[in-house]
Amino acid sequence: MRRLKAVIQKLLALALFAEDTSHLRGQLIRQDQVFQANGWVRGDNEF
């Protein structure tokens, strides 16, 4: 479901834009890396 992938990326971008704190940004970046490690962000992985 590519739509879910787009929603996740949009939420991450909005959170980074709304809360410009280094602590939250680091937390979101780590969360994004976990998604990538699980293959959630890669386009070749379909649910």
Q: How far apart are the first and last CA of the chain?
A: 6
Which pLDDT value is given to residue 25?
Answer: 65
Instruction: List all residues 6 or more positions away from 2 whose beta carbon is below 8 Å from its beta carbon.
Output: 43
Domain ranges of the chain: 2-37
Which pLDDT value is given to residue 47?
Answer: 47
- pLDDT tens column, 7-32: 988 888 877 666 666 666 677 777 77
11 in Cβ contact with 17 (< 8 Å) = no
Regarding predicted confidence, which is higher, 47 or 3?
Answer: 3
pLDDT over 70 at 40, yes or no: no
Position 22, amino acid: S
CA distance 47 to 3: 11
CA distance 3 to 18: 22
